Structure 1
């Protein structure tokens, strides 16, 4: 499914850390948030990212889900599928993705969703979580979808890691 004219691609990714954010067992993840997020912001096709407090090394860890400080989220908007794919599978981000089982619990359910948003729209975390819930309940649709729904998405097929944490 190609982006409708006048639309961008939004994505939300949530996970639950195995420990609190100040625990040494997640120190590598926390220490690299600014590096990986900064790279994403400099990528061609990047449009917007939900920001946390702005404090270095915190990413969006302060945007608690259901009041749980160990649930963390990432919410971004991209010009197109290819731009998001390049970032996820073609940069250092992939190295951190491969290590996610060290830092995140296995949720046993969908934790990632994408959907089209009108250019200029900045989705809220509540909106993103509603899209994720819709995907969990109804499967892929124009309302919310995963990588396999996008015919133009190719990199995930060859670069994605085995579904270990939260898939």
Structure 2
């Protein structure tokens, strides 16, 4: 863990139906619970919010069906524990019910401690990952990079397909 750097992450998804469609209801109904779990998780620092308690009302792209989630954690292990263990994993397993497949939907990067990334910054990191694959500037759980002032890190887990 670095006092100078924190792990930023963003994930996007293209909804299979509008956010108020019954097909998406279970996902929407789980947002407050999952967001509360994230905020109570060891290592959680910050998450993007719109007008409500989630970011579903934000429109990161011209396509209104693309949803965004972004957060900051103290390290990759803390984020990995939240993402791949506990109740969040139950939601991830149902992702195909609510979202279309995307080749690049999540990216991790190191941000200065205290920095809250912008949506444009997150989109830029997703584009970097898509164009160049994992690098120190945009990476994944499967191919992680250490913070700029740390030793190398081991992969946490493979991303869910």
TM over 0.5: yes
Which string of whole-angstrom CA distances, capped at 9 and with x for unpartnered residues, describes residues 121-165 of structure 1?
0000110010010010011111100112223333x24xx54x1xx
Residue in 2 that maps onto 1:30: 28
Contact 2:8/2:110 (8 A) holds in 1: yes
SS at 1:113 equivalent? strand
CA distance in 2, matches of 1:34, 1:61: 11
1:118 is matched with 112
Point out where structure 2 has 5 or more consecutive residues left out of the alignment: 145-152
Match for residue 139 of structure 1 among 133, 144, 156: 133
> What is the aligned counterpart of 1:152 among 143, 151, 154?
154
Q: Secondary structure at the match of 2:142?
A: helix
Q: Are the aligned partners of 2:7 and 2:74 in contact in 1 as well (CA < 8 Å)?
A: yes
Map of 1:15 onto structure 2: 13
Question: Which residue does 1:97 correspond to in 2?
Answer: 92
Quote the Cα distance in structure 2 between the aligned partners of 1:42 and 1:153. 24
Give the alignment's Cα RMSD to 1 decimal. Answer: 1.4
TM-score with structure 2 setting the length = 0.89
Could you tell me which of 57, 63, 66 is aligned with 2:58?
A: 63
For residue 17 of structure 2, give the secondary structure of its aligned residue in structure 1: coil
Deviation at 1:101?
A: 0.2
Deviation of 1:42 after TM superposition, in Å, equals 0.8
Which runs of structure 1 show a deviation greater than 6 angstroms over 4 or more consecutive aligned residues?
Answer: none
Unaligned 5+ residue runs, structure 1?
none
C-alpha separation in 2, matches of 1:137 and 1:89: 26
Deviation at 1:65, TM superposition (A): 2.5
In structure 1, distance between residues paired with 2:97 and 2:139: 26
Deviation at 1:19, TM superposition (A): 0.3
- 2 CA distance for matches of 1:118 and 1:65? 23
Cα distance in structure 2, aligned partners of 1:44 and 1:4: 15
